[in-house]
A and B are shown apart, each in its own frame.
Chain A
Amino acid sequence: MAFINIKTKEVQVKIVYYGPGRGGKTANLEYIYNKYRNNITTEMVSLKTHDDRTLFFDFLPFDVGKIRGYDVSIQLYTVPGQVKYNATRKLVLKGVDGIVFVADATVERRKSNIDSLKQLQENLESYNLNINTIPLVMQYNKYDLKDAGVPLLSPQVMQQDLNSQLRVPAFAASALVGGNVIATLKKIISLTLSSIQDQLF
Chain B
Amino acid sequence: MKYPILTEKQLDAIDDILNQKLIKAGVRNVMLIDMAGNTISKQDNGKFKLDTIAFAALAAGNFAAVEAMAKLVGESEFSLLFHKGETASVHFSKINKDFLLITMFQKDLSLGIIRLKVTDTIDALTKVIYT
Q: Report A's interface with B, CB cutoff 8 A.
A: 1, 3, 5-7, 12, 14, 42-43, 45, 47, 56-57, 59, 61, 73, 75, 77, 87-88, 91-92, 94-95
Indicate if the CB atoms of A92 and B38 lie closer than 8 Å: no
Which secondary structure dominates where chain A touches chain B? strand
- Shortest CB distance B68–A (Å): 6
Given contact pairs A59-B54, A75-B57, A92-B61, A12 touches B38 in the complex (Cβ within 8 A): yes
Q: Mark B46-85, 1 if CB is under 8 A from A, else 0.
A: 0000010110011011001100100000000000000000
Residues of A near B65 (CB, < 8 A) are 56, 88, 91
Indicate if the CB atoms of A57 and B38 lie closer than 8 Å: no
Total B residues in contact with A, Cβ cutoff 8 Å: 23
Which of B5-13, B88-96, B122-130 is near enough to bind chain A?
B5-13
Q: How far is the CA of A166 from the CA of B122 in the complex (A)?
A: 44
Residues of A near B37 (CB, < 8 A) are 14, 75, 95
CB within 8 A of B11: which of A6, A87, A91, A94?
A6
Indicate if the CB atoms of B53 and A3 lie closer than 8 Å: no
**Chain A residue with the shortest CB-CB distance to B58:** A45
Q: How far is the CA of A3 from the CA of B99 in the complex (A)?
A: 13
CB within 8 A of B54: which of A1, A3, A45?
A45
Query: B111 interface residue, CB < 8 Å from A?
Result: no
CB within 8 A of A3: which of B8, B38, B51?
B38
Q: How far is the CA of A6 from the CA of B37 in the complex (A)?
A: 17
CB within 8 A of B53: which of A5, A57, A75, A94?
A75
- Shortest CB distance A63–B (Å): 10
Q: Report B's interface with A, CB cutoff 8 A.
A: 1, 6-8, 11-12, 34-40, 51, 53-54, 57-58, 60-61, 64-65, 68
Given contact pairs A5-B40, A56-B65, A61 touches B1 in the complex (Cβ within 8 A): no
Known A6-B11, A56-B65; 9 more pairs at CB < 8 Å: A3-B34, A3-B38, A12-B39, A47-B61, A77-B57, A87-B68, A91-B61, A92-B61, A95-B34
- Shortest CB distance A165–B (Å): 28
Residues of A near B53 (CB, < 8 A) are 42, 61, 73, 75
18 A-B interface contacts by CB (under 8 A): A1-B1, A6-B6, A6-B8, A6-B11, A7-B11, A42-B51, A45-B57, A56-B65, A61-B54, A75-B37, A87-B68, A88-B65, A92-B61, A94-B35, A94-B64, A95-B1, A95-B34, A95-B38
Q: How far is the CA of A11 from the CA of B37 in the complex (A)?
A: 13
